[in-house]
Structure 1
Amino acid sequence: MTALPKILVAPTGARRGKSTHPALPVTIEEIIETCRACATAGAGGVHAHIRADDGSHSLDLERYRTLVARLEENFPGWFVQVTSEAAGRYDAADQRTLIRSLKPKAVTAAIRELVPDAAAEPDAKALYHWARDNDVTIQHICFDLKDMERLIGFIKDGTIPGRSHQVQLVLGSYDGSKVSRPEDIEPFIEPMLALGQTQDFDWMLCAFGKEETDCLLRTLELGGKARIGFENSLWNRDGSVARDNAERVEELVSLARASGLKV
């Protein structure tokens, strides 16, 4: 399992488009150029989405293969992670099919999407074990404490195998109904810490709005990793709209180093 980089850029996402921000990359070429700028700014890898010809969210296998190959060609040694996000367009079976067919080195899968109910647990368990056996690292996405509690339960009962796990915490929401607040991070990670030395968690956090920067700085202080970019937030710390993804990375790197944090 390759460790998560300190800073991972999420430049695209499943929802926003050019109408939201003209610098949001949609095509493969735009994603490549964005990653080049973000790597220069200090990002250690990318959380990648692909889009269909009409700009909508896609889990198309061939497009993913093309994007991953281009990223690995242009950024040797860089951390490349893809998403299996359903985004209301796909279901758990579609997600499992993508992961098994693409066989990526790293992929995200939300607990609530991949295991929506008890009936989905056997298929999810089979996928989690297959991924372990085939060197596919699944980063488990938790949107709230309920997701976290389910994740811990799956680890304890063997649904998710092993003792080393990558976790993505989501703090806040797109619509602002849940505000991203640094003080909410410690309660979110407490269930992982409570397992002590029995499990090893490589955890990362993303946040929304102008609060993104302070939440990510607190995450780094607590020993976590930061996912930053236009998938989650378009805003700088002062509330201004960022020029592009690279500007978001630049701000975080600058502030972290000024605080004595290694990034």
Structure 2
Amino acid sequence: MAAPTGARRGKDAHPNLPITTQEIASETMACRSSGAHALHLHVRDEDGRHSLDPGLYREALQEIERAVPGFPVQVTTESASRFDVETQLNCLRDVSAQAASISVREMARDPELAPRVYALCADRGIHVQHILYTLEDWHKLQVWRASGIVHQNQTDVIVVLGQYAPARYTKVQDLDAVARIIDGAPGRCMVCAFGPNEHRVLLAAAARGCDLRIGFENNIHAEDGTLASSNAAQVAHLVSALASVSLEGGH
């Protein structure tokens, strides 16, 4: 999965970070050509700020569908310290999304609305991927699944390693701290990793059976430490590295 935009970085961080609807659609096409299987979508308002505006989402989804027909797109509900759970719920209600990433930690801010978020996704057929930052998030998800707040078929998770601000870059060893999640997830487990070690961490996660998410949302540097040229180049490098590992394993 490609995550080309994110909620926080701008053109000052990287001139090729896609912000506008047209830029995102173009980069999605390039990432698919490089081997990405899906898009993790963030949209920005006219000032370049992270947005959960349903109209902006609908516009972006339509543009992506025109550029890359049938390509799977997951919308984010990330608050980025801007939006409450009611806004996140309204976004999901008003956007015809096929998939969404939803933070357990953020849903826990409003215990009354959280069940409605997961019920809405179940009713609308929105595929849920639970965002997990810590083992505490994992434990909360387990409790919610047992109590029925999270529906039994809402099983997929993404483990976020490191963070944007304050900057905390990921190391391969960080995977050991979340091994309980990787090994215990009843559905698919995806990993994304902040910082210049992104490629090494993702290769190690793949060896543990995880799906991978890569892109400028989490890291703008190539494996050699230089500024990456584009999201598509990052995808292509990872796909090539995974193929090399697979070939070596075959020998």
**Distance in 1 between residues matched to 2:29 and 2:100, nearest whole Å:** 21
Question: Aligned with 1:38: secondary structure?
Answer: helix
Seq. identity, %: 35
- CA distance in structure 2 between the partners assigned to 1:130 and 1:46 by the alignment: 22
**Following superposition of structure 1 onto structure 2, how do residues 1-263 of structure 1 map, counting pairs within 5 Å?**
8-116=1-109, 120-175=110-165, 177-191=167-181, 193-194=183-184, 200-260=186-246
Segment drifting more, 168-177 vs 224-233: 168-177
Compute the RMSD of aligned alpha carbons.
1.8
Contact 1:229/1:245 (8 A) holds in 2: yes
Instruction: Give 1:76 deviation, angstroms.
Output: 2.4
Q: Is the 8 A contact 2:169 2:196 kept in 1?
A: no
Structure 1 residues without counterparts, runs of 5 or longer: 1-7
Structure 2, unaligned runs of 5 or more: none
For the Cα contact (< 8 Å) 1:172–1:180, is it kept in 2? Answer: yes
2:157 & 2:207 partners in 1: Cα distance?
17
Change (3 A) 1:136 1:123: same
CA distance in 1 between counterparts of 2:154 and 2:113 reads 21
Q: For structure 1, which segment, 155-164 or 30-39, has the greater mean C-alpha deviation from structure 2 after superposition?
A: 155-164
**Do the aligned partners of 1:152 and 1:191 also contact (CA within 8 Å) in 2?**
no
- Does the aligned pair in 1 maintain the 2:128–2:154 contact within 8 Å? no
Q: Following TM superposition, by how much is the alpha carbon of 1:160 offset from its aligned partner in structure 2, in angstroms?
A: 0.4
**Cα distance, 1:176 vs structure 2:** 6.2
Cα offset, 1:169, TM superposition: 0.7
Instruction: Assess, with a 3 A threshold, how the Cα gap between structure 1 residues 179 and 93 changes in structure 2: closer, same or farther.
Output: same
Aligned length: 248
Of 180-189 and 144-153, deviating more is 180-189
1:17 Cα deviation after fit: 0.4
Mapped partners of 1:80, 1:177: distance in 2: 28
State the TM-score, normalized to the length of structure 1. Answer: 0.89
